[in-house]
Structure 1
């Protein structure tokens, strides 16, 4: 049920009831049994949601399936520890459905936050992302990020659990079982969810109106659809440049403010590889548009190379105005963690050496706008987008190469994650991918002009440029601190109840 909620459409509503069964299943269990059930739930959910890892490891990591599947199981087992902890915490409040529901939601979002930090972080597949199409349900993200949406979903599951438990109790011993405490709990849930849904609907209308009245910028994006198997082949480098240039010339006919190419669209070390750099500059200088493009970069310090996954901003005269270097790298994709301990495991990306990290929050400038650039995997980390908007970014630009994922569920999951960065910071997000999905996400979360997968595509859009700062942009993850404090209070009250019974 959890995994099906990420399928989109009507199925996304399944998330709002998917956790009810596990709460009932632990009602008579020990804490250890509850933790085990939470682990099993998380294990199978993670294995199905992240099954695309097997494809990527097999096709581009050249690992046999016999090794790819254990990698998936290992990752899923790690993620399952977090859901196990949430169910384990809920089991401490057996017989008190309200505290069960509240503690379950609080621990769930706190462990999500922890998962986004521990071991460099892997905040992919949070439950809130399943609702990316339900705009009125996700506007609270501008208050507390995707964590607020996840909290609402998990707490609603807890409310259903409480309501059914109370109905069963009333049937057994009479309606007086509802009592004063039941009325208070019902009032709490009624106020919370009424506020949640009212805020979402009213905020959606408000932001949509602001989008209509905001200043506009015309942006073009090029989806070159370069096959990953030939992307770094020297025989195809000139072909790749020529293809992007030809598509950019067509896009330039609509006179965009700037044109965006995807991550590593120029598949060579820009400014270091002299012949390819000259061919590139000779090709683009006559187009007459500002260009934002991805290309790796290398410098030498003490005769040792340092490699960067970079994005450049170039004006219409061919002058480089700035460079952004990726700050959050993909383990085993762009660097090899613990390579001194596990030297037999290397990177999937076919480039020399490990990449180095750049400076977080660096802004690129075009002729008229400041842009916050997120390269591929970086967009799954809310903090990075928020930092760029705080530093003055008018737009968020996410360039990516999702060709690694093939036609699996990963590209749509990745797009759903990136859409939340627009809502959280109330900025238009420009998402340009090599093979899709490419599209615009407005500050309200509305998606425009999305391409399909594996097609040559040009997208030109007139998008709003909002200047206001959201509560989340200004205050960050304050909600997580509140959840943690509330969680301590829940366990403290539970402990007091147990001591009073002794």
Structure 2
């Protein structure tokens, strides 16, 4: 590897190879080719063996990648050290810079597995085998991205392609398999940072792109500065000069400055907060008896908690301690019995609604009307005069949590699946509901992580958003904080106030600028009362939809595909210059 070109090659001093920093690709393509060539016949290493060999040869870089993965997890709630998200991207960009595709794949896996292991440790309430299994599955997407990062690092403007590849990785992981799992997106680590306002322009994917671009630019600056310092040390003392060094430092300084500019660009984006009108709401958190998988306890237990808290709210209103709300919001699963089927559940809800005297959005589990054995996760508008009315059914049930894919095959050897006795049936329309004087968009639990569901709800006319959720299974694990952070980003992305209602916490009221104005403690019975701004204006992100995400991901994919084309074209030009077919064939074997 040679240093950056400068001046006339004939007058440039010779720089000893040992004085330059090690090639981040290690042995690179040449080393991989030598290893394959020198292996005994019949014992050429397979793909997994080559990846393992790369890990053994490059353990310091592997350790750096793993450390960066842990650092990225610490950028998310409940730790919230968001600058680590930029640093983690920079480290991964450095360790994959100039590597072969197989080496890049290994470093992507070394980065992704500890990242998800720390991020998703809240799943240990179900079992550590679930944490490890899901972390490994999600890390496979990072493995593919690591390979693509390594190959595209040979292209001009590689930080741009690196940022696009981060968007591409999240695009695929958010959708596949079984509807995808969007947890761990860079945007969700930057929900109240200088990058956040960019969500109003291009949604969560644009925030991810900006964070990744800043990190890749910092990696470029570090790489350029590292090479410059090594070359400067290698020059004869008399040939060193302050002016030439300053000129040669401009690219590194420029990359660092551009990284900072990208990070500050969010401040130039206006975030709409003006309200057409407001509505007074009350959010009821009835609490559960115990956290974990068995939070439901006896039938009617949680429902009675919410009835009790609502009746206490009504008493406080009657005594003048609290101003009368216009509507009340209950969380997901506030009624664990179908109120249409069980009279005792219906009577309890009617008693609470009559006491408070305003419409209540009730979260309930409802038996499917035509498909026996299926249940629907609903939000039901319950009026004190007319009773139950319009409802929203969760569109995206959680696989293995609310339904079991391939139940017949998997249940034979995974007995734990019996804890999901009935599959949830998905809804087929958005959750725009008229709750008293407010036109609200209902989004249930994990649906807040999916761009399309929230965006479609806003575009269908929701003036504010309600996230009915149930995090009792994951109480005191950090998962409720991670989900609340998503609500903060969605508020900015769509210019909507957001209410999060959870039976055990965290329940919250979030302003349209993403500020969490009120929040409850976990595992307490509480009621939040406040003014909720209602807005009609749509953001640019609402209007353009998923177009920026697909465009950025497409650029990343094209850059990845351009690598072998560029290499093939370069070999063809080299062969033509040599005019020697023998030399050309030899050159064709040195694929980068």
For the superposition of Structure 1 and Structure 2, which TM-score range results when normalised by the shorter chain? 0.7 to 0.9
Q: CA RMSD in A?
A: 2.8
Counting only pairs closer than 5 Å after superposition, residues 64-463 of structure 1 correspond to structure 2 as 68-94=127-153, 99-119=157-177, 120-134=179-193, 136-173=194-231, 194=261, 197-198=264-265, 200-203=266-269, 206-208=271-273, 210-211=274-275, 214-228=276-290, 229=294, 231-234=296-299, 236=301, 239-250=304-315, 252=317, 253-301=322-370, 304-344=372-412, 345=414, 353-463=422-532
DSSP 3-state at the match of 1:371: strand
DSSP 3-state at the match of 2:117: helix
The answer on whether the counterparts of 2:510 and 2:518 sit within 8 Å (CA) in structure 1 is: no
The structure-2 alpha-carbon separation of the partners of 1:404 and 1:3, relative to structure 1 and needing over 3 Å to count, comes to same
Structure 1 residue 45 corresponds to structure 2 residue 104: no
Cα deviation 1:215-237 (Å, max 9, x = unaligned):
21211101111125463513736
Q: What is the CA–CA distance in structure 1 between the aligned matches of 2:501 and 2:231, rounded to whole Å?
A: 60
Q: What is the CA–CA distance in structure 2 between the aligned matches of 1:318 and 1:244, rounded to whole Å?
A: 22
DSSP 3-state at the match of 1:310: strand
Which residue of 21, 29, 50 maps to 2:91? 21
Runs (5+) with no aligned partner, structure 1: 58-67
The CA deviation at 1:366 is 1.7
Runs (5+) with no aligned partner, structure 2: 1-70, 233-242, 575-592
DSSP 3-state at the match of 1:297: strand
**Greater mean deviation of Cα atoms: 481-490 or 174-183:** 174-183
The CA deviation at 1:342 is 0.9
The CA deviation at 1:143 is 1.6
The answer on whether the counterparts of 2:159 and 2:217 sit within 8 Å (CA) in structure 1 is: yes
The answer on whether the counterparts of 2:282 and 2:325 sit within 8 Å (CA) in structure 1 is: yes
The structure-2 alpha-carbon separation of the partners of 1:399 and 1:23, relative to structure 1 and needing over 3 Å to count, comes to same
The structure-2 alpha-carbon separation of the partners of 1:350 and 1:251, relative to structure 1 and needing over 3 Å to count, comes to farther
Aligned counterpart, 2:47: none
Cα deviation 1:5-63 (Å, max 9, x = unaligned):
114677221111123233333346432122111101100111111111112x1xxxxxx
The CA deviation at 1:391 is 0.7
The CA deviation at 1:352 is 5.1
Q: What is the CA–CA distance in structure 2 between the aligned matches of 1:13 and 1:263, rounded to whole Å?
A: 33
The CA deviation at 1:431 is 0.5
Q: What is the CA–CA distance in structure 2 between the aligned matches of 1:491 and 1:241, rounded to whole Å?
A: 54
Aligned counterpart, 1:62: none
The answer on whether the counterparts of 2:285 and 2:527 sit within 8 Å (CA) in structure 1 is: yes
Q: What is the CA–CA distance in structure 1 between the aligned matches of 2:248 and 2:327, rounded to whole Å?
A: 62
Cα deviation 1:391-413 (Å, max 9, x = unaligned):
11111100111001021121111
**Greater mean deviation of Cα atoms: 73-82 or 277-286:** 277-286
DSSP 3-state at the match of 1:372: strand
Structure having the higher Rg: 2
Cα deviation 1:318-364 (Å, max 9, x = unaligned):
52231111110011221111112112446779675211111231321
Cα deviation 1:274-330 (Å, max 9, x = unaligned):
23312331343232111111011124427x354211111122325223111111001
Cα deviation 1:356-388 (Å, max 9, x = unaligned):
111231321122121111111111111111111
The structure-2 alpha-carbon separation of the partners of 1:235 and 1:420, relative to structure 1 and needing over 3 Å to count, comes to closer
The structure-2 alpha-carbon separation of the partners of 1:283 and 1:433, relative to structure 1 and needing over 3 Å to count, comes to closer
The CA deviation at 1:164 is 1.4
DSSP 3-state at the match of 1:46: helix
The answer on whether the counterparts of 2:358 and 2:436 sit within 8 Å (CA) in structure 1 is: no
The structure-2 alpha-carbon separation of the partners of 1:362 and 1:113, relative to structure 1 and needing over 3 Å to count, comes to same
The CA deviation at 1:259 is 0.6
The answer on whether the counterparts of 1:219 and 1:461 sit within 8 Å (CA) in structure 2 is: yes
The structure-2 alpha-carbon separation of the partners of 1:176 and 1:117, relative to structure 1 and needing over 3 Å to count, comes to farther
The structure-2 alpha-carbon separation of the partners of 1:224 and 1:298, relative to structure 1 and needing over 3 Å to count, comes to same
Number of aligned pairs?
482
The answer on whether the counterparts of 2:284 and 2:306 sit within 8 Å (CA) in structure 1 is: no
The answer on whether the counterparts of 1:251 and 1:458 sit within 8 Å (CA) in structure 2 is: no
The structure-2 alpha-carbon separation of the partners of 1:267 and 1:191, relative to structure 1 and needing over 3 Å to count, comes to same
The structure-2 alpha-carbon separation of the partners of 1:53 and 1:138, relative to structure 1 and needing over 3 Å to count, comes to same
DSSP 3-state at the match of 2:281: strand
The structure-2 alpha-carbon separation of the partners of 1:233 and 1:400, relative to structure 1 and needing over 3 Å to count, comes to same
Q: What is the CA–CA distance in structure 1 between the aligned matches of 2:379 and 2:174, rounded to whole Å?
A: 24
**Greater mean deviation of Cα atoms: 28-37 or 166-175:** 166-175
The answer on whether the counterparts of 2:395 and 2:426 sit within 8 Å (CA) in structure 1 is: yes
